Amino acid sequence: MGQKRKLRLYDAAQIDKNQMMFNNKALVALLFPIVVEQILNSFMGMADTMMVSNVGSTAISAVSLVDSINTLVIQVFSAMATGAAIICSQYLGSRDKNGCNRAAQQIVLTVFVISTSLMLLGLLFRAPLLRLIFGQVEDEVMSQSLVYFMITVVSYPFFALFSAGAAFFRAGGNSAFPMKVSLISNAMNILGNAVLIFVLHTGVAGAALSTLMSRIFSMAVVFWRIGRPGQPIVLKNYLRIRPDWHLIRKILTISVPTGIENGMFQFGKLAIQSTVSTMGTVAIAAQAMTNILENVNGVVSQGIGIGLMTVVGQCIGAHKNEEAKYYIVKLTVAAEAGMIASCLFTYAISGFVTRAGGMEAESAALCIYMIGAITIVKPVSWVLSFIPAYGMRAAGDVRFSMLVSTCTMWGCRVALCMFLAHAFHIGPMAVWYGMFADWTLRAFIFTGRFLSGRWLKKSIL
């Protein structure tokens, strides 16, 4: 009998349907803007890449290489935002608004210090860093990479603070406002690209300047709004914030393992990117566009996962553990449906995207071939490897996720990719064989973790 209870997805008898934290209407109100925001960000990123690609393969290669580093840093900021969403959601679920506001102040202070430090380090060491990672690339690619990195690194604090601010709104159930800000910001970025790249012919520098200005705008609007009264989380008087080491430790308890997990993913991608960079400009360009399209076909499910953290966090804060399980199961099913639909849609538009992006025929054909393989495998294994983990992290189970993700990343994505690339010379498709193995192994491990219930024994507050 005990074994059967252990394997049960959730105990429906312990859930009061009339007292649930989120009904279907509330779930849609929370999740829909997040999904739309993720879709917009991905399509804007794709449009950004298409604009840069019209400058030439050298430009898109430079942007792709630098963005692999930028994404690593952005994952650190995303980890801080994840910590913000989880901690604030649990405080709000336990009806402790003052504790939530105090935690939010410490998150802002921590994010500002870390992001500013990374910006200064990036500016000081950009040349040796790029040469260390991508030393074998062509001289022209390296030259444009240095320009692009110098400008985009200045945007780190603005992006980090926007991410934290957006997480505060989502934790309070208002995901519509960050979506609107992202929509305007991305439109500004695309318009800036159009003017700076096609009218003023500034190349990769123009693409970087557009990114910088749009991130400054996003941060300014979010922090203007969060200072207004009448919201679940209100912040003001930033210059009066002083470190509260007890709260900072709580924040870092969530953020550091999540940051290590995200960082390991990006370090792995950098290792993979270094391998791809030796395959020539055709392979680099194909892999760059494939990465963009692969991000697009996962945005619906990823958006659901981000929203799931708020839902589970509030349930855990209110001590409604069975309800937390219920929402993880329910939203995993929704994410699977979204994954199937978005994968089919992305594959259908891949030919148009490669043509509109002005890709060379060989790069375009290779990109479409890789997207076809992803369309087959991703709906089978991706959702179970990521969505339940979002919910379990929201309960505080971040160290297990960090350990599993780190091991599967280096054991599957990196090691298998490099082995296939160097031993069998199969080109950039080696990246995706490693990715498929990673997703599949993670799916089995995280499903077992969810069924065991051990993730509910981790405490944050």
Least confident of 137-146, 170-179, 363-372: 137-146
Q: Which residues of 328-354 are buried (b: 16+ CB within 10 A; e: fewer)?
A: bebbbebbbebbbebbeebbeebeebb
Examine residue 335 and state whether it is found in any structural domain, yes or no: yes
* Cβ neighbours around 76 below 10 Å, total: 23
Report d(CA 411, CA 204) in Å as an integer: 35
Backbone angles phi, psi at 427, to 5 degrees: 80, -160
How many CA atoms, within 13 angstroms, populate the side-chain half-sphere of residue 67? 20
Q: For residue 300, give the H/E element and its range.
A: helix 299-317
What pLDDT does residue 1 have? 41
pTM, two decimals, is 0.81
436, two tokens: 């498929």
Average pLDDT for 158-182: 90
SS3 199: helix
Examine residue 6 and state whether it is found in any structural domain, yes or no: no
Report d(CA 160, CA 111) in Å as an integer: 7
Examine residue 381 and state whether it is found in any structural domain, yes or no: yes
CA 158 to chain centre: 16
Residue 392 one-letter amino acid: M
pLDDT of 5 over the 60 cut: no
42, two tokens: 């991905």
Average pLDDT for 185-209: 85
258 and 403 Cβ atoms separated by less than 8 Å = no
CA 202 to chain centre: 29
Report d(CA 170, CA 299) in Å as an integer: 17
- Which distant-in-sequence residues (6+ apart) come within 8 Å of 64 by Cβ? 273, 284, 285, 287, 288, 291
Higher pLDDT, 127 or 25: 25
Residue with token string 């945007």: 155
DSSP-assigned letters across all residues of 48-71? HHHHHHTT-HHHHHHHHHHHHHHH
Report d(CA 211, CA 86) in Å as an integer: 28
Total domain count, the chain: 1
Average pLDDT, rounded, for the chain:
85
What pLDDT does residue 45 have? 64
Examine residue 4 and state whether it is found in any structural domain, yes or no: no
Give the ranges where 8-96 is alpha helix by DSSP (H): 24-53, 57-93
What are the tens digits of pLDDT across the range 284-296?
888 888 888 888 8
What pLDDT does residue 6 have? 47
64 and 240 Cβ atoms separated by less than 8 Å = no
Examine residue 8 and state whether it is found in any structural domain, yes or no: no
Report d(CA 12, CA 123) in Å as an integer: 54
pLDDT of 199 over the 60 cut: yes
Domain of 127? 19-457
Structure confidence at residue 95 as a pLDDT band (50, 70, 90): confident
194, two tokens: 């159009």
What are the tens digits of pLDDT across the range 400-451?
988 998 899 888 888 888 898 888 888 888 889 998 999 999 999 999 999 9
Examine residue 3 and state whether it is found in any structural domain, yes or no: no
Least confident of 38-42, 121-125, 144-148, 283-287: 38-42
pLDDT of 345 over the 90 cut: yes
Structure confidence at residue 137 as a pLDDT band (50, 70, 90): low
Average pLDDT for 23-33: 90
63, two tokens: 């942007």
What are the tens digits of pLDDT across the range 325-344?
999 999 999 999 999 999 99
Report d(CA 189, CA 186) in Å as an integer: 5
Examine residue 1 and state whether it is found in any structural domain, yes or no: no
Structure confidence at residue 54 as a pLDDT band (50, 70, 90): low
User: How distant, in Å, are the alpha carbons of 133, 147, 263, 445 from that of 383?
Assistant: 31, 37, 21, 13
Average pLDDT for 164-175: 89
Structure confidence at residue 201 as a pLDDT band (50, 70, 90): confident
Percent of the chain with pLDDT over 90: 30
What pLDDT does residue 56 have? 65
Examine residue 5 and state whether it is found in any structural domain, yes or no: no
What pLDDT does residue 459 have? 65
Percent of the chain with pLDDT over 70: 92
What are the tens digits of pLDDT across the range 360-411?
889 899 999 999 999 999 999 999 999 999 999 989 898 898 899 889 988 8
- Which distant-in-sequence residues (6+ apart) come within 8 Å of 151 by Cβ? 205, 208, 209, 211, 212
